[in-house]
Amino acid sequence: MAFDAPAAPGPGLSPRAMAWYRFSRNRSARIGAFMVVSVVFIALFAPLIAPFPDHAGAVVDFSARHTPPNLTFPLGTDKVGRDILSRVVFGFRLSLLLVAGVLAIAVPLGAALGLVAAWCGGIIEKGMTGFTNVMLAIPPLVMALAIGNVLEPNLVNAMIAITLVWWTWHARLVYRVAKSVAAEDFIEAARLAGAGHLHILAREILPNCISVISVKTTLDAAFVILFGATLSFLGLGVKPPTPDLGSMVADARQFLPEQWWEVLGPGLAIFYATLGFNLLGDGLRDMFDVEV
Amino acid sequence: MTLKVDRRTMILECISAILKRLVGFIGVLCVLSLMIFILARVVPGDPARIALGPNATQAQVDALRASMGLDRPVITQYALYLWNGLHGHFGKSLISGKSVIGEIASLLPATLELVIVAVLGIIVIAVPLGVVTARYRNSWIDTIARLVSIIGVTMPSFLFAIILQLAAANVLSRWPIIGRIDPALHPPAGPTGLLLVDSLLAARPEVFANAARHILLPALALAMAGIGQITRITRSAMIEQQRRDHVLTLKSFGVPERVIVWPYLLKLSSIAPLTVLGLEFASLIGNAFVVEMVFSWGGFASYGLEAILQKDINAVMAVVLVSGLFFVTVNILVDAIVMLIDPRLRLQEVR
Amino acid sequence: MRNLLDISDLNVSFSAYGRRQHILKDVALSVPEGGRVALIGETGCGKSLTGRAILGTLPDTARIESGRISLRGESVLDMPPKRREALKGTAFSIIMQDPLSSFNPVLQIGRHLDDVMRFADRRLGICASCAERKARIFDVLRKVQLSDPEWIFAAYPAQLSGGMRQRALIALSLLHQPELLIADEPGTALDVTTQDEIMTLIDRRVSDNGLSLLMITHNLGLVRRMVDEIYVMRHGEIIEYGRTTGLFRRPQAAYTRQLVEAIPPLYGAAVVNRPASTAKPMIELTAVSKAFARRSAFAKSSRHVAVKEVSLSIREGEIFGLAGESGSGKTTLARMIMGLAHASSGAIMIAGKPVDAGSAAARRNRIQLVYQNPGTSLNPKRTVGQTLAVPLAFVGVRGAAAASRIETLLCDVDLPSHYASKFPHELSGGQKQRVAIARALAAEPRIIVLDEPTSALDVSVQRNVIRLLTRLGDTLGLTFLFISHDLSLMRNFCGRIAIMLKGRIVETGSPRIVFARPRHPYTRALIAAAPVMSEEEENLKPHIGPEERRRYLVGARARS
């Protein structure tokens, strides 16, 4: 089922209870939820958590450069002697800002367009499916690179670049789900009962798409972190000295294999964040029993 | 309703369906070219100025603008661009001054080879893995495969590429970690440009072995995301199908489990991963940009990355269009294969 | 007589969502050698599960807690797995239920048949070449009345009609001579006339080959002529057992009585004759046609005519029945009357005005629809009250007035008022259908279209829903257009009926006259196929000759 159809008759449990059972039995989903919460927590309280908050800026301490991990610097230091752990902590903050910015625009925009295209049909539907088909054909990374390079490399522009290539995917999914909901008997019944277009979109179709949207949004968060890291790895990230996980990996690459910790810290951080959102998204997907 | 169809009509209808899709894809390419054209025109900075550098005189810049057609109305420029594009002319690179299409043609085989090996890797590794994990659900093999697939999906390919390089450099000290081939070997200039094929055609096994060693790590780094995703999709398609009545039919008559899994379920469950592989092909090309950079592969994708970073507009436009062409070709192929697998689609065309 | 199969004290439990559920409770059942036994029960009562327990194909989540299943006195459950496996298809054979999904859609029918035969042969130690197997399969296919085995063998499931797939499934169960044939709801998903043919076919194969039969079904009427003994199952328990004739005459358990009473009589004193209306026409159709165009690049473009020149007049306050099998165009016709589809030609007048006259709002106010499946016609995310508020707001009832109106509406359909806060998943199928009826009433329509409103419900609740509809029709003076394939229901519920075949109306009239003297052979075939509860009624049914059968039953659906 592509949307929240009434679940198979369980042993007298409501769909909510069954969904909660599925989620609570899913160990990787719980781990994912913990990882996501921890990333959000670290990002929110970065200045309090980072051992050297000022190392997130343009601090230079050549005496401590390329220090391997030790008790003072648990993840070692970089080429100018800054604490990698502190920079990773602030890197999370930047990654989550990017996620929030992209999703805040792409999710409502994609959902609204997907819903409208599925319900109104006609030229809007044709236009939207046609446009998303075109977007499918372009490697998203190439498109984002091209857009990002036209603009100045900074956080807002990275957001714009990622949003521009990403919202169509979201719209495509919501469109697909809304289309199948719109074909249901209860929608026609609501029409016959005199419901207006707005009522049908907002009250009848949208509630049946919410679970798909939330699963997709969680998985998208992982994607945006990964994508943002790749962009900054390729040199289209935030300008130094702001700590950015992708560009930290790119900077440290030249010191491989001797100063391996300089790649390890930010690399693991990216992996940790994307893994968390992915596990949580998978868990939610199983919980709502939807296809994304 | 019974449906007796003669073979000829069915084949003709299927070909017409594929042709219809081809027309749709050509439309996609046209819109794509328009989008990339518009993007190219909003680039801040004058392409002619970028090409000539800051020391050129205004007269020189104007001359170049005229020769590039930049002084004409935008509509005319686009029409001209399309016309030239249809004839295979995408102008000259603003950086090297050489024909863009010539440069791409010389670099394309390297990327093609990498992508083909990666796609083969995805199919050969991910599909059986998905089948096995679905069959032995919740066993240790399932756990491992799910771990592999989640790592594949979540780890950025640049990170995976770097880790592979590091591991190869530390553990297998003589394993090549950059380039396509040992330059001392003088690879044969074959008809395909694909080293693995050309070396076999020229009967030079040592070149083949060397090229194979070179391609293994980048292909793996490139395939990883696909392996993760396709394993996952094959697994869920298999599990979905296992619940269906037709499996119960066979079980009720004592057809052994392995027969039910391999021919019956595999054929049915291969449709979803194939379709996804087609749709995700663009992402694969995108990842090639990163992987080629890390492994200094020197293919079409590295060229594209360079072009984008240096704002070489003509080259960027050609690179995006060639990627689109790649995607379109692969998806027509996928559509044809899926149609071969699924008789329902063929019948639908006849109806 | 010795028993072929004996089940005693069988207990099966399921684990789902961390709870164990006891599904089969102390089930005891026997099938005598050469006997014919039916297991009757509603959806989800555990009857199919009993069949799967016998075969050994229980799902992984199910566990046999205790009990014994024995074949000629030997316990099946204690056999080594290999021997148990060898019983499949040879000792026990099953006719699967749903012909649509019972074959793998991407492989040919022949592949299924051949693999089943190959592995059963191997277990039996038979060595047969591919060609030999093919010859044997073709033989079986001919026996199940599939006249072109060559083509069936090479065809994909989607190419066959439902009846042909069901026959192929029967062929699958007869590849090796089984001792016990388990038929799990055969033909349930098919049209009545096809189902009738399938039952006749099973009947003949069982008697010709001297098999024992265990028939699993929810339809009591269907088994009357098929079996000698009946077990009635409810909530996983056998609540009644008896010889067929005795059980139909004097059902003991209240539930069985309900099942017997749920089947409306076709003939005799118990039949209800609804009076024909003499009021002015409410719905008038003049030569209405509907065509759908098909396009093709190579073949000629063709038009599929779903409804052909239908003229009808339905009077105010009448219950008008429209009967026909799937694909006869009855749903298309109803949608045109509702204004949901446009007629290609002809005129539709509702209460004297063209159907598409006036605003969309005014049109909806006149006609409402009750869907076949209440599971899909109620939004799972909205409470009963929210669902009912929509049509109320539309007719201008809001706020406190709406709340009290919802209470009245629920009362009208015999539901307690606190149900307004419930979600559809908290209701049973019958309750959901009542809500759907209440929603239709809320818009204060003059006409309600009923699209098979009881066919998705269990027999025991069907009667109550029909009774409710009759009462509402009488008290509110509604006009009903009742679409169904269930003729016995129409006989008692409708004031007038029309029979549709391939887009045309072939017969119209009051049910009393149509059933007593059906003029069209197709009507005769439909009535003959309807299950009845007694031999007397069976004898009153019209008879159809083989020529008519061929023309209107087989020919009516085959399209090549």
pLDDT digits (tens, 9 = 90+) for C174-204: 999 899 999 998 888 788 888 888 999 999 9
Mean pLDDT throughout A202-210?
A: 94
The angle, 0 to 180 degrees and rounded to 10, between the axes of the packed helices B343-350 and B313-341 is 90
At C203, the amino acid letter reads D
In the sheet with C62-71, reading across from the earlier edge strand, the strands are C19-32, C3-16, C62-71, C74-75
Q: Which residues contact B66 (CB under 8 A, 6 or more apart)?
A: none
Pairing of strands C92-95, C180-184: parallel
**What single DSSP character describes residue C421?**
G
Mean pLDDT (chain C) is 88
Sheet containing C92-95: give its strands across: C92-95, C180-184, C212-217, C36-40, C229-234, C237-243
Neighbours of chain A (3+ CB pairs under 8 A): B, C
8 Å CB contact of B255 and C119: yes
- pLDDT tens by residue, B61-87: 888 777 777 777 778 888 888 888 788
* CB contact B7 to C (< 8 Å): no
- What is residue B242's three-state secondary structure? helix
Residue B5 in contact with partner chain C when CB distance is under 8 A: yes
- Mean pLDDT for chain A overall: 86
Answer yes or no: are the C-beta atoms of C109 and C152 closer than 8 Å: yes
The 3-state DSSP class for residue B81 equals helix
C85 closest CB neighbour out of B16, B250, B254? B254
Note whether A142 contacts B289, CB cutoff 8 Å.
Answer: yes
Q: What is the pLDDT of residue B54?
A: 73
Distance from CA of residue A163 to its chain's centroid? 11
For the stretch A70-92, pLDDT in tens is: 888 888 888 888 899 999 999 99
Please give the backbone phi and psi of residue A249, each rounded to the nearest 5 degrees, phi first: -65, -45
How many CB contacts within 8 angstroms connect chain B with chain C? 111
Evaluate whether C190 touches C163 at the Cβ level (below 8 Å).
yes
Chain A residues near residue B36 by CB distance under 8 angstroms: 146
- Side-by-side strand order, sheet with C302-315: C302-315, C281-294, C345-350, C353-354
What percent of chain C is modeled with pLDDT above 90?
A: 56
Task: Please state the rounded mean pLDDT for residues B239-252.
Answer: 91
Amino acid at C48: S
Residue C172, min C-alpha distance to chain B (Å): 9
| Residue in A closest to B283 by C-alpha | A139
Q: How far apart are CA C465 and CA C456, in angstroms?
A: 12
Output the pLDDT for position C556: 39
**Do A25 and A72 meet the contact criterion of CB atoms below 8 Å apart?**
no
Torsion of CA C54, C58, C61, C64, to 10 degrees: 10
Which residues does C558 contact at the CB level (< 8 Å), separation at least 6? B2, C161
List chain A residues with CB under 8 Å of C394. Answer: 193-195
Q: Is the pLDDT of residue A9 over 50?
A: no
In the predicted model, is pLDDT for residue A11 greater than 60? no
Residue C2 has a pLDDT of 79
Q: Which residue has the tokens 């899994």?
A: B261
pLDDT bucket at A187, cuts 50 / 70 / 90: very high
Please report, rounded to a whole number, the percentage of residues in chain B having pLDDT higher than 70. 97
- Strand C237-243 relative to strand C281-294, pairing: unpaired
Measured CA to CA, the distance from residue B59 to residue B272 in angstroms comes to 58
| pLDDT at res. A81 | 82
Mean pLDDT is lowest, of A118-127, B86-95, B140-149, C548-557, for C548-557
**Which tokens is A46 given?**
């970065």
Say yes or no: A273 contacts chain B, CB-CB below 8 A: no
Q: What is the per-residue pLDDT across C59-82, written as a single tens digit (0 to 9) for each? A: 888 999 999 999 999 999 999 999
pLDDT for res C294:
66
Q: Which chain A residues are closer than 8 Å to B163 by Cβ? A: 267
* B305 CB within 8 Å of a chain A CB: yes
Q: Reduce the DSSP state of residue C452 to 3 states and report it.
A: coil
Instruction: Give residue A1's pLDDT.
Output: 28
> In terms of Cα–Cα distance, which of C54, B304, B154 is closest to A273?
B154
Confidence check: pLDDT of A5 > 50 = no
Mean pLDDT check: name the lowest of A107-111, A230-234, B180-184.
B180-184
CA distance C134 to C121: 13
**pLDDT band at B53; cut points 50, 70, 90:** confident
**Residue A6: predicted pLDDT:** 32
**What is the distance between the alpha carbons of residues A5 and A178, in angstroms, rounded to a whole number?**
13
Contacts of A136 in chain B (CB under 8 A): 279, 282, 327
Neighbouring residues of C355: CB distance < 8 A, sequence distance ≥ 6: C336, C337, C339, C348, C349, C363
Per-residue pLDDT tens over the stretch B263-279: 899 999 999 999 999 98
- In the prediction, which pLDDT does C322 show? 95
Residues C56-81 as b or e (16 or more Cβ within 10 Å = b): bbeeeebebeebebbbeeeebeeeee
Query: Would you say C230 and C242 are in contact if contact means Cβ atoms under 8 Å apart?
Result: yes
Can you say how many angstroms the Cα of residue C402 is from the centroid of all Cα atoms in its chain? 37
- Whole-number Å distance between alpha carbons of A167 and B78: 27
Task: Name the band, by pLDDT with cuts 50, 70 and 90, for residue C275.
Answer: confident
Determine the distance in angstroms separating the CA of A211 from the nearest CA of chain C, rounded to an integer. Answer: 11
Preferred mutation among A142, A152, A282, A286 to probe B, highest tally of B CBs within 10 A: A142
pTM of the model: 0.89
Q: Nearest 5 degrees, angle CA A215-CA A220-CA A226?
A: 145
Give the model's confidence band at C296: pLDDT under 50 very low, under 70 low, under 90 confident, else very high: low
CA dihedral C498, C500, C504, C510 (to 10 degrees): -10
pLDDT at A47 over 60: yes
With tokens 């003994």, the residue in question is: C229
- What pLDDT, on a 0 to 100 scale, did the predictor assign at position C555? 41
Is residue A169 scored above 80 in pLDDT? yes
Q: Which residue of C has its CA nearest to B268?
A: C106
When pLDDT is averaged across residues C457-471 and rounded to a whole number, the result is: 86
Chain A: residue nearest C364 by CA? A192
Handedness of CA C48, C50, C54, C56 (dihedral sign): positive
Q: Nearest chain B Cα to A135, which residue?
A: B32
- Bigger pLDDT: B118 or B310? B118
pLDDT at C168 over 90: yes
| CA C403 – CA C416 distance, rounded (Å) | 13
DSSP string, B88-157: T---B-TTT-SBHHHHHHHHHHHHHHHHHHHHHHHHHHHHHHHHHHHHTTTSHHHHHHHHHHHHHHHS-H
Q: What is the pLDDT of residue C557?
A: 42
B157-171 vs A245-252: helix crossing angle, rounded to 10: 30
**Amino acid sitting at position A143:** M
Per-residue confidence band for C361, with pLDDT thresholds at 50, 70 and 90: low
- Say if CB C328 and CB C502 are below 8 A apart: yes
Task: With CA atoms as reference, report the closest residue to B80 among B316, B303, B317.
Answer: B317
Could you tell me the two tokens for C387? 């669902």
**Contacts across the A-C interface (CB distance below 8 Å):** 83
ipTM over 0.90: no
What is the C-alpha to C-alpha distance for residues C286 and A289, in angstroms, rounded to an integer? 49
Q: Pseudo-torsion of CA A229, A233, A238, A242, nearest 10°?
A: 90
Looking at residue C552, what is its pLDDT? 66
> B2: which chain C residues are within 8 Å (Cβ-Cβ)?
159-161, 164, 558-560
How would you class B349 by CB atoms within 10 Å of its CB: exposed for 0-12, middle for 13-18, buried for 19 or more?
A: buried
Which partners does chain B have (≥3 C-beta pairs < 8 Å)? A, C
Residue A278: the pLDDT is: 94
Q: Cα–Cα distance between A261 and A251 in angstroms, integer?
A: 12
Question: Could you say which of A17, A184, A193 has the minimum Cβ distance to residue C390?
Answer: A193
Read off the tokens for C39.
């297991």
- pLDDT value at C1 more than 60: no
CB C258 within 8 A of CB C275: no
Q: Does B345 touch chain C (CB under 8 A)?
A: no
Helices (H), C181-319: 192-209, 220-223, 244-249, 254-262
Question: What tens digit of pLDDT does each residue of A23-44 get?
Answer: 888 888 999 999 999 999 999 9
List the single range of B41-50, B270-279, C184-193, C514-523 with lowest mean pLDDT.
B41-50
Q: For residues C235-242, give the mean pLDDT.
A: 93
First to last CA, chain C: 49
Those of residues 15-54 in A touching chain B at CB distance below 8 A are: 28
Question: What is the DSSP track for C288-326?
Answer: EEEEEEE--SSSPPEEEEEEEEEEEEEETT-EEEEE--T
Closest chain B CA to residue A271: B155
Residue by residue, DSSP assigns chain A as --S-PPPP--SS--HHHHHHHHHHH-HHHHHHHHHHHHHHHHHHTHHHH-SSGGGGSS---GGGTTPPS-SSSTT-B-TT--BHHHHHHHHHHHHHHHHHHHHHHHHHHHHHHHHHHHHH-HHHHHHHHHHHHHHHHS-HHHHHHHHHHHS-SSHHHHHHHHHHHHHHHHHHHHHHHHHHHHTSHHHHHHHHTT--HHHIIIIIIHHHHHHHHHHHHHHHHHHHHHHHHHHHHTT-SPPTTS--HHHHHHHHGGGTTTTTHHHHHHHHHHHHHHHHHHHHHHHHHHHHT---
Report chain B residues whose CB lies below 8 A from the CB of C79.
none
Section C270-284 average pLDDT:
86
Confidence of residue A2 (pLDDT cuts 50, 70, 90): very low
